[in-house]
Structure 1
Amino acid sequence: MSVLGNVGSEYNFTTTDWLDTGDNAWQLTAATLVGLQSVPGLVILYAGLMRNKWAINSAFMAFYGFAATLITWVLWAYKMSFGIYMLPFVGRPGPVVTMAQELGQSQLPSTSPVLFQNFPLSTMVYFQFVFAAITVIILAGAVLGRMNFTAWMIFVPLWITFCYSIGAYSLWGGGFLFQMGVIDYSGGYVIHVSSGTAGFVAAHWVGPRLKEDREDGRPSNYMAVLIGAGLLWLGWNGFNGGDPYAASADAGAAVLNTNITTAMSLLCWTICDIIYYKKPSVIGAIQGMITGLVAITPAAGVVAGWGAIIIGFASGTIPWLSMNIMGKKVAYFRKIDDTLGIFHTHCVAGFVGGFCSGLFATSQGTAAFGLTNPGGAIDGNGKQVWLQIVGFLFIVGWDTVWTSLILCFIKYVLRIPLRMSEEELAAGSDMIHGEAAYVLGPCEAHEHLLAGNYVRRSDTNQGELGLGGVTIGQDPQAVDKQSSSGTPEGKRD
């Protein structure tokens, strides 16, 4: 069998003049970094932040959301977000699963002029998928500890279709907000305002956790929370650094500004905790880290370093006030059980960043990003502030209405409860999934994992060290007793 050379082949996508291998390599790396923010980042973070009985359920909601989003994305949602014009706020749905599509050059057909990227469409599809996935996973943080898992399974593809895709097309894919000139560098509106709004609305429709879970919300594993937070922070380098769609100078500026704002926000949140609560809090510092990451996202590559510091100060104080003062003293916010405070850390912080983009975007930064906007208010373009407010209001309004419609459809048309039963709420993950997060000895709820079914009693023999019914060794004390007495204590009578 002979192998023909690549020269002249219509299937030769390795030496095409549009492919920049450096850009493609960075884009795939950035996409992987963003993916790591969800799996395992938010999977670990959610498991650690929740009580023991909710750790598995919370982690699994994130894990499922990641997978369900990808299938939705490649079958119809990507083209709704970045495809050919259908309506001012959405593109034509359709699949991107053929080899010709995957190997062809990436482009944004709804922009004028049409924008091309120097890498294949497959790279673009995957890069944009991880953004969609983390959005719905962030949303999940508002309804942890009580949302019916079956309802969640249906909710994810519907929300990606009718909410996320609309925001992505409107702001990024060439839709009406894109044409107006609203700046959303990497998803402050598309991802964070969207997830924060939808999470708060979903918390209203699903209802609160059990009273005991709301009163005792101590994390099950602080070190897991820190590990998840670290993956979020460093993964954000791909989140913001990948959005120029090139290994460009602006990508470097976005990465540096991302870390400057995050550090400043963490410090400010910690200082606020010390002043108000008289002690620094690890969980508080992580909240400050998250609000910093969120706030710099819409502005990362268009503001200077000093602008990043100002945004960090705002994101470390305004969401702190929102969460710790407004969230605890305003009756309506006390009534809505937003489990992880997603509204404050994402919607409020996203607006702070979007508004600051209108103030502090530089003409140099917008030009480096490929925008025609002449900077923000500091460069004499005060109109940009109003454009940012319009973009924010559209996302909040659309997601409020459509998240409500989706949940009402699941509840009243499909007749699937949004909230778990009282029995499931009391038992937690053991009843819902038959699994627990931390198993330190024989546990009847886990024996089905190897046996293939459920049994009532442990198969772990006396004297054996077990992990969920799986024998992992002999108890040394039992072995010593057996050798001295001749009694096989490791055997069942």
Structure 2
Amino acid sequence: MNSTAFTPLPSNLIPDDASPEWMNKGDNAWQLVAATLVGLQSVPGLIILYGGAVKKKWAVNSAFMALYAFACVLVCWVGWGYRMSFGDQLIPIWGKANLALDQGYLLHQTFQGMFPNATMVFFQFVFAAITLILIAGALLGRMNFYAWMLFVPLWLTFSYTVGAYSIWCPQGFLAELGVIDYSGGYVIHLSSGVAGFTAAYWVGPRLTKDRERFPPNNILLMLAGAGLLWMGWTGFNGGDPYVVSIDASLAVLNTHVCAATSLLTWLILDIIFFRKPSVIGAVQGMITGLVCITPAAGVVQGWAAIIMGIFSGSIPWFTMMVVHKKSELLQKVDDTMGVFHTHAIAGSLGGILTGLFAKPKLSKLFYGKYGKYVGLFHGFAGDGKASLGVRQVLVQIIGILFVIGVNVVITSLICLLVQLIVPLRMSEEDMEIGDEAAHGEEAYAIWGQGDRPENSRYSTYNDIEVAVPKEAGQVEMI
């Protein structure tokens, strides 16, 4: 008899009430780390990226739109959003609203993965939050903050949950159809790009002088935010297998390879056509690469990630630098950060390329099924039937059309509803002023030692008394 069969488990692996048999401690630890990395992409990543990338007078407002969305989404998510996205089916595109707050629910095993619902709720929250923050990028520099406060919970409830349930929940109709969206190319990036563009149409453009000249107030700060965004994508794509696996490792490597290739491609095009290596352009190329690889990260090979990076650095560059300048519609809609190009175009591109390059063996690692998820090229190459490859491309296109349709309609209805309650835009006078008008605060003091001007019209805190030393033994209140 093999004596090792009776070797006791190490004490740290013995199941107990806090570590039930179904829970894998390594998977749970990685999932919490991955969620935190994704959260850091928003707070502080996109907060400081937006704050640095806009005109000085909009730095506070732009950063605060991101911070508010992060907090608001979390409360709505545990209140009803998570269960609408991953709970019991209401209709094939939507789950039933329910709380995700009770320990009886949160401590049970999640629908996928060997960790508790509490971990999954947190992990999926940071994805939902960053989607709203990306939408904000299209609206910077003119949206009424009170309108934004209403828009966030409404869009999360009626748009995001539909996309998440349809594509990511096992019972969703696009999930059953076989759409490949490894980590959010559709649910997050395509939807945020389309919704941001649609909302920008309804909100209207910035002031003419802001559209004509909108220089970043701090490019180094913007680069710091971009760096957090890039490195945080390790959790974005590496966390979606819900297990510490070889597929997670592949997804992480493919993510960074595609992003680097895309950045270099965009940079080369800028040098060839504009004779300048643009820092802002390089950041745009990095983002389009990250977005493009997201639906494919763990189901394509490394060489495919290189090819996807070349496409993601060139096609969105072309739509942004060439098509945008010639299109009346694109010129009419004021998309401040260009999220239509960096997220909608790049997300759609990634979805289609996924349909071309998805390898059946890698798809099996992620989905647990062999032969259903077959990229077109591998279908023709003998890894599966060619008909399956053709079907996969068609399914990917159906997913794109569905996400576009849902977001155009729902986002428009939400904007129309919100403007019945509060104006979507700030007043012309307030847009001239910016942060001081919106929040009574400015990002950078340009007088004295940082003191506020005595005649400030807006600050709530101007009259708060602060004790400062006057002379020995005396205190003056200012």
- Tell me the TM-score normalised to structure 1 length: 0.87
Is 1:421 matched up with 2:427?
Answer: yes
Query: Which residue does 1:385 correspond to in 2?
Result: 393
Query: Which residue does 1:227 correspond to in 2?
Result: 224
Matches within 5 A, 1:207-226: 207-226=204-223
Partner Cα distance (2:179, 2:467) in 1: 56
Partner Cα distance (2:360, 2:411) in 1: 36
Query: Which residue does 1:87 correspond to in 2?
Result: 91
Partner Cα distance (1:159, 1:453) in 2: 32
Partner Cα distance (2:313, 2:79) in 1: 39
1:331 shift after superposition: 1.4
Query: Which residue does 1:110 correspond to in 2?
Result: none
* Correspondent of 1:124 among 120, 123, 130: 120
1:445 shift after superposition: 5.9
* Correspondent of 2:165 among 165, 169, 175: 169
1:446 shift after superposition: 9.5
Contact 2:185-2:347 within 8 A present in 1 as well? yes
Query: Which residue does 1:401 correspond to in 2?
Result: 409
Contact 2:359-2:375 within 8 A present in 1 as well? yes
Rate the CA distance shift 1:180–1:227 in 2: closer, same or farther, 3 A. Answer: same
Deviates more, 1:25-34 or 1:327-336: 327-336
Partner Cα distance (1:71, 1:101) in 2: 17
Q: Which runs of 4+ in 1 moved over 4 A?
A: 445-448
- Secondary structure at the aligned position of 1:382 is classed as helix
- Residue 76 of structure 2 aligns with an amino acid whose one-letter code is T
Matches within 5 A, 1:5-44: 12-44=16-48
Is 1:437 matched up with 2:443?
Answer: yes
Is 1:348 matched up with 2:345?
Answer: yes
* Correspondent of 2:279 among 279, 282, 305: 282
Deviates more, 1:94-103 or 1:240-249: 94-103
1:453 shift after superposition: 3.6
Is 1:336 matched up with 2:340?
Answer: no
Query: Which residue does 1:181 correspond to in 2?
Result: 178
- Secondary structure at the aligned position of 2:215 is classed as coil
Query: Which residue does 2:385 correspond to in 1?
Result: none
1:217 shift after superposition: 1.0
Partner Cα distance (2:90, 2:33) in 1: 32
Contact 2:440-2:460 within 8 A present in 1 as well? no
1:371 shift after superposition: 4.6
Identity of aligned residues (%): 54
Q: Deviations over 1:23-58 (max 9, x none)?
A: 000000000000000000000000000011000000
* Correspondent of 1:454 among 454, 457, 462: 462
- Residue 309 of structure 1 aligns with an amino acid whose one-letter code is I
- Secondary structure at the aligned position of 2:113 is classed as strand
Q: Deviations over 1:221-252 (max 9, x none)?
A: 01101100000000000000000001111000
- Residue 341 of structure 1 aligns with an amino acid whose one-letter code is G
Contact 1:435-1:445 within 8 A present in 2 as well? no
Query: Which residue does 1:99 correspond to in 2?
Result: 103
Query: Which residue does 2:7 correspond to in 1?
Result: none
- Secondary structure at the aligned position of 1:105 is classed as coil
Partner Cα distance (1:229, 1:180) in 2: 35
Contact 1:260-1:308 within 8 A present in 2 as well? yes
1:12 shift after superposition: 5.0
- Residue 149 of structure 1 aligns with an amino acid whose one-letter code is F
Query: Which residue does 1:303 correspond to in 2?
Result: 300
Contact 1:264-1:316 within 8 A present in 2 as well? yes
Q: Which runs of 5+ in 2 are unaligned?
A: 1-10, 380-388
1:454 shift after superposition: 2.9
Q: Deviations over 1:261-296 (max 9, x none)?
A: 000000000011011111110000000000000000
1:437 shift after superposition: 0.7
Contact 1:267-1:316 within 8 A present in 2 as well? yes
Is 1:54 matched up with 2:50?
Answer: no
Contact 2:178-2:373 within 8 A present in 1 as well? no
Matches within 5 A, 1:465-484: none
1:376 shift after superposition: 0.7
1:202 shift after superposition: 0.4
- Tell me the TM-score normalised to structure 2 length: 0.90
Q: Deviations over 1:277-324 (max 9, x none)?
A: 111100000000000000000000000000000100000000000100
Query: Which residue does 1:263 correspond to in 2?
Result: 260
- Secondary structure at the aligned position of 1:117 is classed as coil
Contact 1:447-1:454 within 8 A present in 2 as well? no
- Secondary structure at the aligned position of 2:374 is classed as coil
- Residue 165 of structure 1 aligns with an amino acid whose one-letter code is T
Q: Which runs of 5+ in 1 are unaligned?
A: 1-6, 108-115, 460-468, 475-481, 483-490
Contact 1:46-1:58 within 8 A present in 2 as well? yes
The alignment yields a C-alpha RMSD, in angstroms, of 2.3
- Secondary structure at the aligned position of 1:86 is classed as strand
Partner Cα distance (2:323, 2:451) in 1: 43
Partner Cα distance (1:323, 1:202) in 2: 19
- Secondary structure at the aligned position of 1:73 is classed as helix
Partner Cα distance (1:244, 1:172) in 2: 12
* Correspondent of 1:143 among 139, 142, 164: 139
Partner Cα distance (1:130, 1:81) in 2: 14
Rate the CA distance shift 1:91–1:439 in 2: closer, same or farther, 3 A. Answer: same
Partner Cα distance (2:188, 2:195) in 1: 10
Partner Cα distance (1:28, 1:47) in 2: 27
Rate the CA distance shift 1:270–1:176 in 2: closer, same or farther, 3 A. Answer: same
Rate the CA distance shift 1:447–1:378 in 2: closer, same or farther, 3 A. Answer: farther
Partner Cα distance (1:442, 1:270) in 2: 38
Contact 1:75-1:96 within 8 A present in 2 as well? yes
Query: Which residue does 1:375 correspond to in 2?
Result: 374
Partner Cα distance (1:385, 1:375) in 2: 9
Contact 1:434-1:445 within 8 A present in 2 as well? no
Q: Deviations over 1:391-427 (max 9, x none)?
A: 0000000000000000101113x2x100001111011
1:470 shift after superposition: 9.9
Partner Cα distance (1:35, 1:396) in 2: 26
Contact 1:48-1:221 within 8 A present in 2 as well? yes
Partner Cα distance (2:374, 2:353) in 1: 12
Contact 1:46-1:55 within 8 A present in 2 as well? yes
Partner Cα distance (1:397, 1:435) in 2: 39
